[in-house]
RNA sequence: GGCGGAGUCGCCAAGUGGUAAGGCAAUGGUUUGCAAAACCGUCAUUCGUGGGUUCGAUUCCCACCUCCGCCUCCA
């Protein structure tokens, strides 16, 4: 498959370096609160990427960290009067629940930052030894950007005019950590009162690791100095990923990530999602409004990953109908297969080849969905083996997208006897062409929360 | 200010130097006593504005307008 690479700004073929397993790292959540739909856009797209590779027959090694020690987790755990571990576990559990509901495959390795502090300390030591980092008087350690000429390649710093002077003044006025150059970033933070009991011993005194370092240390541990891909939200390009490159290449050598895959942020109602605007949705929020996780997933893959996705509640309703439409078409195919089908489901994409090609063309999920509907119209009349092949192909595509279809078989809900009684009475009236009574009873049923649909020789009751 | 992105039907959203996918909504028909459901159709001479290049541009170039994101923590 072809995929855009942030560093080179070109589309590159996705192929494992070692020719076997595609090994990639995703920046995971900071577990200090519920993940919102913006977070999940990133995780869902990464999941589609992985599923597409695996569908094509390439095994993957998916590593995604948990950031469970940083400013926010410490601040909020103290505010909640819980230990850091207890606090972050709470949100980690919630995160796993949401991921599962959204059909995101669990990463093969999910390292916790707080459990890799020794690795982080040894990486800092290596950086100091090689002259890429320096301790300050207060016991913090900084990365020396001037020691890494390649700094800024990913975010194309040379093309930007970073007003470092302005930033410097702002920092100088606050009693922030000391550093030689304003752009130097912290690797190890000295112990401070507001950290409570959350500090660890180090050669530079008690303190805790800097955020950027966590990922570098865990990557070195599980993927080594060179691996296939690094992925995350677009906001992480600078400075987070830039800093990771600097730390990792200086400490370990190697080429670090061969491909950078960044997912653009989603917008809500055309603007930024924020708590103050009240449009920061979590999965639980949407479920409370009656939507399903799958409807959210469908919505999240409804726009190309490099374009802003304008999320609205209406789009969730549209997704619901669209999913239903696919489900009905799939059901029709299944019905059309009949009993005389002899061919085994093939591994080919058959009539759904255009959909598969779109997916492999820079992960164009919206085009893929479009192709599915177009093809579905043509497969509508297929029978027997052809229907079987089409259905198998459709299922392969849906699996790559991580989409599961809603049940369209009639749910056998319990019908209360009194409701059944009214319906019977109405049916009798209807059979006698007593339309007035029939319609009146239909309205009555509706007011009781039941819809009645007439067929030729029978009727159907369903809850509204 | 710098960097990056976006402006395509009421909404969401692909795409392309050769005459605009798809979904939702809407709407017509078949069906129905009427509905609902289902099925079959219809639905952008037009792609922010103004120029330019071209046989031809929505697609390339220039200018402008509007919007969004980043440059501090952020998926």
Query: What ipTM does the predicted assembly reach?
Result: 0.92
Across the beta sheet with A207-209, the strand order is: A133-135, A141-143, A186-190, A207-209
Span of A43-57, A153-167, A240-254, A267-281 with lowest mean pLDDT: A153-167
Report the range out of A161-170, A215-224, A406-415 with the highest average pLDDT: A215-224
**Closest nucleotide to A265's CA, by C1' atom?**
B75
**Closest nucleotide to A37's CA, by C1' atom?**
B75
Give, in Å, how far the C1' of B28 lies from the CA of A411.
32
Q: Write down the pLDDT at residue A446.
A: 84
- A42 CB contact with strand B at below 7 Å: yes
**Would you tell me the crossing angle of helices A353-360 and A384-401 to the nearest 10 degrees?**
20
Q: Is the peptide bond before A336 cis (omega within 30 degrees of 0)?
A: no
Give, in Å, how far the C1' of B72 lies from the CA of A371.
43
- A34 CB contact with strand B at below 7 Å: no
Which DSSP letter does residue A368 get?
A: H
Nucleotides of strand B within 7 Å of the protein's CB atoms: 1-6, 11-15, 21-25, 32-41, 67-75
**pLDDT surpassing 90 at residue A217:** yes
Q: Write down the pLDDT at residue A182.
A: 64
- A289 CB contact with strand B at below 7 Å: no
Which residues are bridge partners to A263 per DSSP?
A233
Q: Write down the pLDDT at residue A168.
A: 36
Query: Of A274, A272, A284, A322, whose CA–CA distance to A301 is shortest?
Result: A322
pLDDT band at A167, cuts 50/70/90? very low
Q: What CA–CA distances, in Å, run from A305 to A28, A264, A301, A308, A373?
A: 17, 6, 8, 7, 20
pLDDT band at A193, cuts 50/70/90? very high
- CA–CA dist A68, A113 (Å, integer): 6
pLDDT band at A345, cuts 50/70/90? low
How much is the mean pLDDT over chain A? Answer: 88
**pLDDT surpassing 70 at residue A162:** no
Return the exposure string of A123-150: e unless at least 16 CB atoms fall within 10 Å of the residue's CB, then b: bbbbbbeeebbbbbeebbbbbbbebbee
- A176 CB contact with strand B at below 7 Å: no
Span of A132-141, A181-190, A327-336 with lowest mean pLDDT: A181-190
pLDDT higher at A460 or A115: A115
The pTM score is 0.92
pLDDT higher at A1 or A455: A1
Residue written as token pair 């865990």: A218
Proportion of chain A above pLDDT 90, given as a percent: 62
**Closest nucleotide to A374's CA, by C1' atom?**
B22
């Amino acid at each position: 498959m072809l995929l855009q690479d942030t560093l080179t700004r070109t589309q590159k073929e996705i192929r494992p370096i070692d020719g076997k397993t595609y090994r990639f790292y995703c920046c995971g959540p900071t577990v200090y609160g519920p993940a919102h739909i913006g977070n999940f856009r990133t995780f869902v797209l990464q999941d589609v990427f992985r599923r597409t590779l695996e569908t094509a027959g390439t095994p993957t090694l998916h590593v995604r960290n948990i950031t469970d020690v940083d400013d926010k987790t410490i601040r909020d755990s103290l505010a909640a009067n819980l230990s850091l571990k207890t606090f972050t576990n709470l949100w980690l559990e919630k995160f796993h629940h949401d991921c599962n509901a959204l059909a995101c495959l669990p990463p093969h390795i999910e390292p916790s930052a707080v459990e890799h502090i020794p690795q982080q300390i040894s990486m800092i030591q290596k950086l100091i030894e090689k002259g890429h980092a320096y301790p300050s008087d207060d016991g913090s350690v900084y990365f020396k950007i001037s020691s890494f000429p390649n700094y800024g390649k990913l975010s194309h710093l040379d093309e930007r005019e970073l007003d470092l002077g302005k930033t410097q003044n702002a920092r100088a006025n606050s009693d922030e950590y000391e550093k030689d150059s304003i752009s130097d970033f912290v690797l190890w933070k000295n112990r401070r009162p507001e950290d409570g009991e959350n500090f660890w011993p180090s050669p530079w005194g008690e303190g805790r690791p800097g955020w950027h370092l966590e990922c570098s240390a865990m990557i070195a541990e599980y993927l080594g100095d060179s691996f296939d891909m690094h992925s995350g939200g677009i906001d992480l390009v600078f400075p987070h990923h830039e800093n990771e490159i600097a730390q990792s290449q200086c400490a370990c050598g190697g080429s670090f990530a061969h491909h950078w895959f960044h997912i653009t942020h989603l917008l809500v109602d055309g603007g930024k999602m924020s708590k103050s605007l009240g449009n920061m949705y979590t999965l639980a929020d949407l479920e409370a409004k009656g939507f399903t996780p799958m409807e959210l997933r469908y919505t999240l893959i409804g726009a190309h990953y490099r374009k802003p996705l304008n999320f609205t509640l209406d789009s969730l309703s549209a997704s619901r109908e669209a999913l239903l439409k696919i489900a009905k078409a799939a059901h029709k195919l299944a019905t059309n297969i009949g009993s005389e089908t002899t061919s085994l489901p093939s591994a080919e994409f058959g009539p759904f080849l255009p959909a598969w090609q779109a997916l492999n063309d820079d992960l164009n999920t919206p085009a893929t969905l479009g192709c599915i509907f177009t093809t579905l119209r043509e497969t509508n009349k297929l029978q027997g083996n052809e229907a079987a092949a089409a259905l198998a192909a459709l299922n392969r595509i849906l699996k790559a997208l991580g989409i599961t279809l809603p049940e369209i078989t009639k749910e056998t809900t319990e019908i209360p006897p009194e409701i059944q009684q009214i319906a019977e009475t109405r049916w009798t009236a209807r059979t006698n062409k007593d339309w007035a009574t029939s319609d009146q009873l239909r309205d009555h049923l509706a007011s009781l929360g039941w819809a009645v649909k007439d067929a030729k020789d029978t009727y159907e009751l369903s809850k509204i």
